[in-house]
Amino acid sequence: MRIVTLLARHGTDKYGDAVAAMDALFARQMPDADRELLIVDTALPESHVEALGPGRALIGASNSHWEFSAWDRGLRHLGKRLDGFDFVHLATSAFGALYTRYLDRFDTGMLALLQGRAAAVGHLDYYNETVTICGRSLRSWLRCSFVFLPPVELKLLGSLVGVADPSAFFSGNPQQPFRADAPLSKTYRDNIIGWLTGSGTGQSVQWHSRFELTAETLALFEAKTLAILNEQMLSSRLRAQGCALVDAIWLATRPGQLRAGRLLGEIPSWRVQLTQRDVDPAPKTLLGADDAN
Amino acid sequence: MTGAPAAYDIFIDLSHAGVAGPALRRHLDRLAHDAGLAPLAGCVTVCTASVELADMRDCGFDVELRSGPAIDVLMRAIRMAARARRHLVILLGDIAPGSEVIAALIEAFAQDPMFGTSQPRFAEPSTDRIWPIPGGEAQRPPLSHRASLPQLAVDTITPELPACCVVLRWELLIGVETSDQHGRTLAGGFLHLLAEGRRLGFRNIVRNRVVLSAPLHVYDIYPTPPIEEIEQLYALDSYAAGTPLLLANLSERRAEMLIEAAHPDANGRRRLLLDCRGMPPLHNGTAVCTLGFLDGFRALTDTWDIHVLAFASTAAFHNFKSRYPAYTHVSDTLAGTYAAALLLSQPWDIGRVAELHRHARAISFLMLDAIAWDIYPNWKGPEAAWGFIAQYADALFYISRFTQDRFNKRFPVAPDVGEAVTHLSLAAEDHARSLPTLEPIANDILIFGNDFHHKHVRPTAQLLSDAFPFHRIMVIGTANIPGSNVTATQSGNIERDTLDRLIAGASVIVFPSFYEGFGLPVVEGLARGRTVLVRRSALWSEIAALSRLPGQMCEFDNPASLVDGVGRALHGLPMTPLPSGVGLAAGEAPADWRACARRASDLLVRQLDGASMQRWRVREHALRIVDQ
């Protein structure tokens, strides 16, 4: 199985051990993978291209859209070679932060179930309530810090930057940072402000780098919000092109439940996947009254 | 919730899906929570077989359940959506498009005010492969690889195309007459409705990068109305009668089938068509060339799944099936799709080019020479075909550099057309392997050619008959040449063994042609160690430089030097042969048939791997103009 990791980072001041940790994960869990590593550093100029040994390189990228512009640069760097991989592994240097139990579940046997399928696998997050963004509703999405997906899905997307222009969203006022006519539901606005500056989104989890929203931190707020929008719109765009979002913990249980030689078949909805996790399952109430029985 | 007004209403037909009661409740729950339509939909109208057992409270939607004729329920939903100026999402059967799918379909309306209906592509849920757009064939084409989608246009404008998920623009809903459809089936009324929308000027968009996984039979994904309802439509809308043909001929539909054909099979092979319809059912140079390439491609069956197309008479004459058991043999007419097609001769008209284009992702041609265009300047077929392929082919192959130069001077080849000189075999073993077991037929002077003026056989035979009245002269290629010492016979009438024995028994071979693409008889004579006299040409220096054949090739350039050369050859006097092998590196073997085929194969693989579909589309557009 041929995998290329596009590891996005912004220098090495934070998460300086990300490359070593990633190498260790692959060595431990996927020693049979034929793997290449492309580190895309948005602190380096775009012209930077440095070979780091066989199957390993470091390139620079624009930081205009954080990890999303970094991955776009990585894909351009790979060019036609992209087709030679079974999976592209999108990762950020922060992949080891926040919830990480799903990381232990990746192996090539689990990924093999998705070979040739329209699916992206990673950690599925969800809100307590549905929100709307740009005329689409959204309740679940793939966390972008550690995702595997086939090259064809990236070719269909075109660019990983789904929301490039911030002007439709932000007011410039730290008291009310979103425009009144921004295409974002009220619940979504509350979730964003809660996650970045407050106590979270009502799921007893807090972001590690939250800050107070002031005139000085407004630019950071907008940039971080744009990154969240891009992360969640990536899931929405993948779904629109028919690419299923697959929870890693759910998928990891499949090989043991499928008889030898059986294929994965139709991929169930995100609600079914999350409630069928063998570790940290979502509550059955997520399914609604009929399906929960 | 956004608080923003709903963007669209939804009509769902479950009247034939067996979805009722609790199952209907679950289906609506899926649409509301998995598909995420609850916050965005306005009125949801569900046509179901029975409304009695359904409890739709708190299902997330403003639902109206209706039973009765589905077409009537649809028309009601249309009137309601039109009144509210909302788009209408039509869902036929047990499918659940996500809000992002619907949003992406509606986004198409912003691109053009006359895009009136928008639909996704549909995937088979357990494999994610894509259902082709229907085209009226008796047998539907196989499901497409998902990898084909990025190579298709983002959007394809089509004639009216009923499907299980379509969004209708509200401006179209305003314009259509909803009272006319009563009594029709849902599929029939839907088709009539879409045709009416088209008559208003609204076109259908198929979004090739928006995909809906649909657990339905393909006949439910693209429903077809009863024939009588189709005929009713044709009676009132003559343009609708052309719809099946329009769908079948959609450029993007053709493109999709060819992209699909270009994918390697499970063994990593692509399908290659070797078109041998330029080969006659007799022995001549074209036949040797074609058979040589077919022999050479036998070594490339790991790369290609080879199909050979020939006229039945030709295939029978040359024993194709027994000679090439590893190939698939096709007679007379072309069917199916291929990654690449190689016509093993020149095309004589644009029709042959168009035919190959319709069936192959990459098309290529083996140019033997440009003689026909030079000697018959009024022959329009080759002029049109050769001018076209010089601009639009994927690859052109030439049997000599000399031919490539002649062709390019007459038909300048576009920079993105791949070109390669394959040559014909220059390996002695390929031409001498069939040395006759019978004795050579002794003859003094063997003249090769045919009745074409440029071959210059008759004047040459007469000259040599006069100059060497006591030597036996054998002429191959034309009949009725005067001279008591001359025996002449038409080409094509001689068995291959007899020809080989004549070559083997010749004291000197004369090839007097003014204009050749390669000159196989020259190489065959040299392979058998003969002295061959040829009229001075850059072609012969090229052939000599790239071969190491046992015979000697000497040039003449006027009658005197021809007579002098023949005299020297007959009497064993010193001659000045063209330098042999000087174009080959040390240790490099001259090209055999396998090498010739590999040169063609390598370029075809490069063209397939490197080219975008844009080249095919440009050619498609040009051929559609030709078709007008």
Same domain membership, residue A246 and residue A226:
no
**pLDDT tens-place string over residues B521-564:** 999 999 999 999 999 999 999 999 999 999 999 999 999 999 99
A37 inside domain = yes
pLDDT at B20 over 80: no
Question: In chain A, what residues touch B612 (CB-CB under 8 Å)?
Answer: none
What pLDDT band is residue A293 in, cutting at 50, 70 and 90?
A: very low
What pLDDT band is residue B179 in, cutting at 50, 70 and 90?
A: confident
Same domain membership, residue A188 and residue A59:
no
Pairing of strands A136-142, A124-133: antiparallel
pLDDT at A292 over 50: no
Choose one of B571, B590, B614: the last residue of a domain: B571
User: Chain B residue with minimal CA distance to A119?
Assistant: B128
Distance from CA of B594 to the nearest CA of A (A): 29
Q: Test B209 with A241 for CB contact under 8 angstroms.
A: yes
Same domain membership, residue B444 and residue B420:
no
Same domain membership, residue B329 and residue B222:
no
Distance CA A218, CA A202 (A): 23
B528 inside domain = yes
Q: What is the pLDDT of residue B551?
A: 95
A132 inside domain = no
**pLDDT tens-place string over residues B461-505:** 999 999 999 999 999 988 888 888 999 988 767 777 888 888 988
Same domain membership, residue A54 and residue A199:
no
Nearest partner of B41 among B61, B13, B65, judged by Cα: B61
Same domain membership, residue A148 and residue A16:
yes
Same domain membership, residue B611 and residue B565:
no
Same domain membership, residue A225 and residue A248:
no
Sheet holding A119-122, edge to edge: A49-51, A56-60, A34-41, A2-9, A87-92, A146-149, A119-122, A244-247
Please give the sequence-ordered ranges of beta strands (E in DSSP) within B2-40, or none if there are none.
Answer: 8-13
Question: How many helices and strands in chain B, by DSSP H and E?
Answer: 24, 21
* A89 DSSP β-pair partners: A5, A148
Same domain membership, residue A253 and residue A185:
no
pLDDT at A261 over 80: no
User: Which one-letter DSSP state was computed for residue B146?
Assistant: G
Global pTM reads 0.87
Distance CA B540, CA B549 (A): 13
Q: Does B215 touch chain A if contact means CB atoms closer than 8 Å?
A: yes
pLDDT at B255 over 50: yes
Q: Test A132 with B40 for CB contact under 8 angstroms.
A: yes
Q: What is the pLDDT of residue B497?
A: 82
Q: Test A118 with B211 for CB contact under 8 angstroms.
A: yes
Same domain membership, residue B257 and residue B268:
no
Q: What is the pLDDT of residue A245?
A: 97
Choose one of A234, A264, A281: the last residue of a domain: A234
B170: tokens are: 């509200």
State the average pLDDT for chain A: 92
pLDDT at B49 over 70: yes
Q: CATH code at B82? A: 3.90.550
B45 inside domain = yes
Mean pLDDT over A45-49 rounds to 96
A133 inside domain = no
A20 inside domain = yes
Question: In chain A, what residues touch B1 (CB-CB under 8 Å)?
Answer: 132, 185-187
3-state secondary structure B417-440: CEEEECCCCCCHHHHHCCCCCCCC
What pLDDT band is residue B437 in, cutting at 50, 70 and 90?
A: low
Choose one of B245, B261, B277: the last residue of a domain: B261
Same domain membership, residue B446 and residue B538:
yes
Q: What is the pLDDT of residue B570?
A: 94
Q: What is the pLDDT of residue B499?
A: 85
Q: What is the pLDDT of residue B68?
A: 87
What pLDDT band is residue A200 in, cutting at 50, 70 and 90?
A: low
B611: tokens are: 């080219």
State the DSSP H helix or E strand holding residue B539, giving kind and residue range, or none if neither. Answer: helix B538-545
Mean pLDDT over B76-92 rounds to 96
pLDDT at A266 over 60: yes
Same domain membership, residue B409 and residue B433:
no
Same domain membership, residue A287 and residue A154:
yes
**pLDDT tens-place string over residues B291-301:** 999 999 999 99
Q: What is the pLDDT of residue A186?
A: 92
**Mutation for B interface: A137, A181, A267, most B CBs within 10 A:** A137
pLDDT at A178 over 70: yes
Of A118, A137, A186, Cβ closest to residue B36: A137
**pLDDT tens-place string over residues A275-288:** 999 999 998 888 87
Distance CA B182, CA B72 (A): 6
pLDDT at B35 over 90: yes
Amino acid symbol at B139: Q
3-state secondary structure B488-532: EECCCCCCHHHHHHHHHCEEEEEECCCCCCCCHHHHHHHHCCCEE
Q: What is the pLDDT of residue A203?
A: 65
Q: Test B209 with A156 for CB contact under 8 angstroms.
A: yes
Same domain membership, residue B251 and residue B143:
yes
Same domain membership, residue A172 and residue A52:
no
Q: Which domain holds residue B554?
A: 428-571
**pLDDT tens-place string over residues B187-220:** 999 999 999 999 999 999 999 999 999 999 988 9
CB neighbours (10 Å) of residue B229? 18
**pLDDT tens-place string over residues B56-76:** 667 778 888 888 899 999 999
Same domain membership, residue A148 and residue A187:
no
B383 inside domain = yes
User: Chain B residue with minimal CA distance to A139?
Assistant: B36
Question: In chain A, what residues touch B99 (CB-CB under 8 Å)?
Answer: 135-137
B329 inside domain = yes
Same domain membership, residue B494 and residue B402:
no
pLDDT at B269 over 70: yes
Residue A214's SS3 state is coil
Of A80, A135, A267, Cβ closest to residue B103: A135
Q: Does B55 touch chain A if contact means CB atoms closer than 8 Å?
A: no
User: Which one-letter DSSP state was computed for residue B179?
Assistant: G
CA count, 13 A, side-chain hemisphere, B199: 16
More confidently predicted of B116 and A213: B116
Q: Test A271 with B128 for CB contact under 8 angstroms.
A: no
Mean pLDDT over B225-247 rounds to 89
Q: Does A187 touch chain B if contact means CB atoms closer than 8 Å?
A: yes
Nearest partner of B554 among B546, B562, B424, judged by Cα: B562
More confidently predicted of B5 and B279: B279
State the average pLDDT for chain B: 91
What pLDDT band is residue B1 in, cutting at 50, 70 and 90?
A: very low
Q: Which domain holds residue A206?
A: 166-234
Residue B91 contacts residue B58 (beta carbons within 8 Å): no
Count: domains in chain B = 3
Hey, which residues 54-83 in chain A have their CB within 8 Å of chain B? 80
Percentage of chain B beyond pLDDT 70 is 95
B593 inside domain = no
Same domain membership, residue A25 and residue A122:
yes
Q: What is the pLDDT of residue B435?
A: 55
Which among B44-53, B242-251, B374-383, B390-399 has the top mean pLDDT? B390-399
State the DSSP H helix or E strand holding residue B286, giving kind and residue range, or none if neither. Answer: helix B285-297
B88 inside domain = yes
Q: Does B586 touch chain A if contact means CB atoms closer than 8 Å?
A: no
Same domain membership, residue B439 and residue B365:
no
- The end-to-end CA distance of chain B, in Å, is 54
Same domain membership, residue B268 and residue B257:
no
Query: Among B22-36, B552-566, B596-610, where is mean pLDDT lowest?
Result: B22-36
User: Chain A residue with minimal CA distance to B29?
Assistant: A288
CB neighbours (10 Å) of residue B142? 11
Q: CATH code at B392? A: 3.40.50.2000
Same domain membership, residue B169 and residue B136:
yes
Residue B509 contacts residue B532 (beta carbons within 8 Å): yes
A196 inside domain = yes
pLDDT at B316 over 90: yes
B576 inside domain = no
Residue B384 contacts residue B360 (beta carbons within 8 Å): no
What pLDDT band is residue B427 in, cutting at 50, 70 and 90?
A: very high
Of A130, A136, A269, Cβ closest to residue B103: A136
Question: In chain B, what residues touch A244 (CB-CB under 8 Å)?
Answer: 213
pLDDT at B32 over 80: yes
pLDDT at B52 over 90: no
Same domain membership, residue A228 and residue A248:
no
Question: In chain B, what residues touch A282 (CB-CB under 8 Å)?
Answer: none
Q: Does B53 touch chain A if contact means CB atoms closer than 8 Å?
A: no
Same domain membership, residue B184 and residue B50:
yes
Distance from CA of B616 to the nearest CA of A (A): 19
Q: Where are the alpha helices (DSSP H) in A88-216?
A: 108-112, 151-157, 186-197
Nearest partner of B355 among B273, B428, B292, judged by Cα: B273
Q: Where are the alpha helices (DSSP H) in chain A?
A: 18-29, 66-78, 108-112, 151-157, 186-197, 218-240, 248-257, 270-275, 289-292
Residue A230's SS3 state is helix
Q: Does A253 touch chain B if contact means CB atoms closer than 8 Å?
A: no
pLDDT at B80 over 80: yes
Q: Test A130 with B211 for CB contact under 8 angstroms.
A: no
**pLDDT tens-place string over residues B337-346:** 999 999 999 9
Mean pLDDT over B29-54 rounds to 86
B546 inside domain = yes
Of A139, A242, A290, Cβ closest to residue B22: A290
Of A156, A186, A267, Cβ closest to residue B150: A156
Same domain membership, residue A174 and residue A113:
no
What pLDDT band is residue B9 in, cutting at 50, 70 and 90?
A: very high
Q: Does A152 touch chain B if contact means CB atoms closer than 8 Å?
A: yes
Q: Does A269 touch chain B if contact means CB atoms closer than 8 Å?
A: yes
Q: Does B7 touch chain A if contact means CB atoms closer than 8 Å?
A: yes
User: Chain B residue with minimal CA distance to A266?
Assistant: B126
pLDDT at A244 over 50: yes
Q: Does A123 touch chain B if contact means CB atoms closer than 8 Å?
A: no
Question: In chain A, what residues touch B98 (CB-CB under 8 Å)?
Answer: 239-240
Q: What is the pLDDT of residue A98?
A: 81
Distance CA B4, CA B9 (A): 14
pLDDT at B96 over 70: yes
Distance from CA of A247 to the nearest CA of B (A): 15
ipTM of this complex prediction, to 2 decimal places: 0.93
Distance CA B138, CA B244 (A): 12
Q: What is the pLDDT of residue B377?
A: 85
Residue bearing tokens 């639009």:
B392
User: Chain B residue with minimal CA distance to A140?
Assistant: B34
Nearest partner of B466 among B447, B482, B446, judged by Cα: B482
Q: Test A132 with B2 for CB contact under 8 angstroms.
A: yes
Q: What is the pLDDT of residue A15?
A: 93
**Mutation for A interface: B33, B101, B126, B131, most A CBs within 10 A:** B33
Count: domains in chain A = 2
Sheet holding B8-13, edge to edge: B62-66, B41-47, B8-13, B87-92, B165-168, B115-123, B203-213, B155-158
